[in-house]
Amino acid sequence: MKLRTGKLPPEILNRLLRQIPKTDGVLVGPAYGEDAAAVELGDTVLVVASDPVTFASDLVGHYAVVVNANDVAAHGARPLYFTAVIMLPEGVDESCVEHVFSQINESCCKLGVALVGGHTEVTPTVNRTVVCGCMIGTVPRDRLVMTRGAVPGNDLILVGGIAIEGTAILAKDAREDLMRRGVSLDVMMSASRFLDHPGICVVDYAMAAVDVGGVTSMHDPTEGGLAMALRELAAAADVGLAIRRDAVPILPESRIICNAVGIDPMGLISSGSLLVACKPEKTDEILRRVRELGVSAEVIGKVVDKGFGVKFDGGEELPYFERDEIARYFEGNV
């Protein structure tokens, strides 16, 4: 099979993961749908996440810190320590390196994370700057959240609007095309600020939900958008999901830009949103707590038996995206 841009197909990834032996003390090991690893250290659990940032961006250092912090927080842990491997193309200007370092430092400081090490090199194997991050956090054993923890009867909350990250990237990197397609400058300027407002960091949302209690599973939608994140959660927990289509929050700018270029916001990279499965008796309190942070939060569905599948409540199957919609756009396939 010739592989395409994006995540490995689930059937290939699962086949590879099944070859990895289980290890004592590993509470969450390599598994489809899990955001990070969790290792038991007495009453404390070490949570470790590793993610690269490979797409072209003038905010690559910021992205690297935040996406890894999000993965740690989705397991209920507070991000504490960060390492980064920075690979730079030949001929890169020194100011570019300084820019990446300053972003990493600034983003770590904002999150209260210590930058504790890493590696930097110039290499002919990349044609743009790539940052591979590793975030480490800790959480008490009784507060650890696993994606596979969702059970039928849980409510499913979505914190934050979908497609925030993808919309911001399109507004910044596809401006001329969007203008040709009739998107106003005001819409693009507003969307380009999504990385800061509402922002792509979900650490505070996750911590607020876990503080309330009753959280059984969390997952942050990234590549493949909300649709693939829902499929990943369902696969990890071996459950079905009944999703209320009209409850999924899509910001007006996202809807306008996605309609203009012919892509589906359900499949657009969505850092900045967080899925939370919880016991129904805790739903209202979780909604209240996260909304106090100035972000939208809605119940978008229920966790149901596996036999139902992953569908909208009317019975229509959720769309499946082999790769993120933003990759399809930049490859010229829209």
210-240: pLDDT as tens digits: 999 999 999 999 999 999 999 999 999 999 9
* Residue 79: predicted pLDDT: 98
Got the DSSP string for 111-175? HT-EEEEEEEEE-TT-SS-EEEEEEEEEEEGGG---GGG--TT-EEEEES-BTHHHHHHHHHHSH
Domain edges within the chain: 21-143, 147-330
**CA–CA separation, 289 vs 275, rounded Å?**
15
Residue 5, pLDDT > 80, answer no
Q: Which of 1-15, 187-201, 320-334 has the highest mean predicted lDDT (pLDDT)? A: 187-201
Q: Count CA atoms within 13 Å of residue 211 on its CB side.
A: 12
**pTM for the structure as a whole:** 0.92
* Residue 114: predicted pLDDT: 98
Q: Which CATH architecture has domain 147-330?
A: Alpha-Beta Complex (3.90)
- Average pLDDT in the 116-138 region? 96
42-57: pLDDT as tens digits: 999 999 999 998 876 7
Q: What is the mean pLDDT of the chain?
A: 94
Q: Which CATH superfamily is domain 21-143 in?
A: PurM-like, N-terminal domain (3.30.1330.10)
- What's the pLDDT band for 124 if we cut at 50, 70, 90? very high
